[in-house]
Amino acid sequence: MKLTCLGSGSAGNCYLLHNETECIVIEAGVPFKEVKKALGFNIRKIIGVVVSHEHGDHAKYLQEYIKVGIPVMAPSMRHVTGVLSAISKPFAVRTFPLVHDVPCTGFLIEHSEIGRLLFATDTEYVRYRFKNLNHIMIECNYSQDLLSKSYHDGLQERIKLTHMELGTCKDFIRENKNKELKTICLMHLSDRTSDEGIFHKEIKELVTCPVYVADKGLEYEL
């Protein structure tokens, strides 16, 4: 199974978790036509779409999926349809609350090919610890040093309360890493208050598995 990134950041977020016959779309922040193109226009393999929260860079194109009858799990928006209502096969999808300025949801996705994948973005922190994770997709939005140099105090405080700082991301990985961890993907890096090279280096020092940064066009095997 592959993970394909079609966008990660304020311009739009969308990730495809897919193999030859099945796909879950994570976030609906890029046009549906880009998803179709990435899947070779075989949208019948889409099991469903999961969306973390209502902000446009994550949910702008959700209605395009609903119009064609694709099941949706967007519990923070009180929108759940079809077979993704709780647990579905071949994917099992569970949710947990995050800390943002609107209701926001993280996902624990299980599949026999990949094991347990955690997805959490647009959150100050994750209050839970998870056992036996095989893959982690986690926000690493900014560093405190770069934030203090880039924005006025008011905006700094808003960002601190709604997005995950490098140190918090590192703490989460320390608490949840295990010998079965196979990949880490850092998501939603800020254009102004992150440094991709430094962030990748500091996270890689914590683990032995591959670490990826979710730039548009990234694709890797899970």
For the chain, list residues with pLDDT below 70: 80-89
Does residue 132 contact residue 79 with C-beta atoms inside 8 Å? no
Looking at residue 88, its pLDDT comes to: 55
Looking at residue 127, its pLDDT comes to: 95
* Chain segment 109-138, per-residue pLDDT in tens: 999 999 999 999 999 999 999 999 999 999
Q: How far apart are CA 68 and CA 57, in angstroms?
A: 21
Nearest residue to 213 via CA among 166, 178, 180: 166
Read off the amino acid at residue 157.
E
Looking at residue 86, its pLDDT comes to: 45
Read off the amino acid at residue 213.
V
Give ∠ CA 82-57-70 in degrees, rounded to 5: 20
Q: How many CB atoms lie within 10 A of CB 1?
A: 17
Give ∠ CA 77-108-178 in degrees, rounded to 5: 150
Q: How far apart are CA 3 and CA 196, in angstroms?
A: 19
- pTM for this prediction: 0.94
Residue boundaries of the structural domains of the chain: 2-221
**Bridging pattern class, strands 2-7 and 14-18:** antiparallel
Q: What is the dihedral of CA 61, 88, 79, 20, to 10 degrees?
A: 0
In CATH, which of 3.40.250.10, 3.90.1200.10, 1.20.1560.10, 3.60.15.10 is domain 2-221? 3.60.15.10
| CA-to-CA separations, 88 to 110, 136, 168, in angstroms, rounded | 10, 21, 32
Nearest residue to 121 via CA among 62, 76, 72: 76
Locate all alpha helices (DSSP H) within the chain, ordered by sequence: 32-38, 56-59, 62-67, 144-150, 153-162, 166-176, 196-204
* Chain segment 183-214, per-residue pLDDT in tens: 999 999 998 899 999 999 999 999 999 999 99
Q: How far apart are CA 185 and CA 100, in angstroms?
A: 20
Q: How many CB atoms lie within 10 A of CB 115?
A: 16
